[in-house]
Amino acid sequence: MNMKSFTVITLLLGILISCSNIVNAQESEKKVVIKTKYGDMTVLLYNETPLHRDNFLKLAREGFYNDLLFHRVIKDFMIQGGDPKSKNAPSGMQLGAGDPGYNIPAEINTKFCHKKGALAAARTGDSFNPERRSSGFQFYLVKGKVWTDPELIQFIDKQKYQAVRTEVMKMVKENQSTFNRLQNENKRDSLDLLINAYQVEAEKKVDVSKFSINEQRRQAYTTIGGTPHLDDAYTVFGEVIDGLNVIDSISAVETAPGDRPLQDIKMTVEIIE
């Protein structure tokens, strides 16, 4: 390679690097403040979940969330809001079914977990929504509880057991005629042997590696707390970095059947420029 060619390539690399730095500079962290009568919560939105971040910022910029309610509150679990029907909703009206007319592709990132203060998108269940797409409007903030290490170990073991049991029940259903015949013939020993065989097969099928809690999550759950059973099933796209006590206050309010607070808790969401 001659010196002239080397110089041109060097200049091009310099331009590319400069452009890359400009892009990275534009990816500054975005924050919003959620204001309530119990205080304010400053929320950091993750750049790693850009679809959810940008949707939330758009709605906040439009003033969409202003005067909506935290319409679903479950003590020591989470507080949920964003239903457009909650604005000026009469007392006793069941809320949570407000449909924005669109949803957002899942951006589930194993880097993030449901620690206390996590901001996550609500969604319909897996049976109707296997892709786990998020609601375009509704979100929740995690309260959860503080876990001990033995409790986390027990939780993981229970998750593994439930996953294996689900696989066993699938195999039972696929071979229902055989089970019915053995039951009708009262062949208890044969049934037990068949169940044991399914159990062994199910344990081979289940990926037990996904039933674990890394050190980062363990630290979070044993210090500030959270709800680990929601991990990797819903999109977490931010976290409260100031005002966790507000979640405590809202989580503790009295609620009616359906989990709507007896006294309305309105919100205002503003972007921190």
Per-residue pLDDT of the chain (273 residues; tens, 9 = 90+): 443 443 333 333 343 333 333 334 457 899 999 999 999 999 999 999 999 999 999 999 999 999 999 999 999 999 999 999 999 999 888 898 877 788 999 999 999 999 999 999 999 989 899 999 999 999 999 999 999 999 999 999 998 888 888 888 888 888 888 878 878 888 788 888 888 888 888 888 887 777 788 999 999 999 999 999 999 999 999 999 999 999 999 999 999 999 999 999 999 999 997
Alpha-carbon distance of 273 to 271, in angstroms, equals: 6
Alpha-carbon distance of 155 to 39, in angstroms, equals: 33
What lies within 8 Å, CB to CB, of 143 at 6+ separation is 75, 76, 77, 78, 79, 116, 225, 227, 247, 248, 251
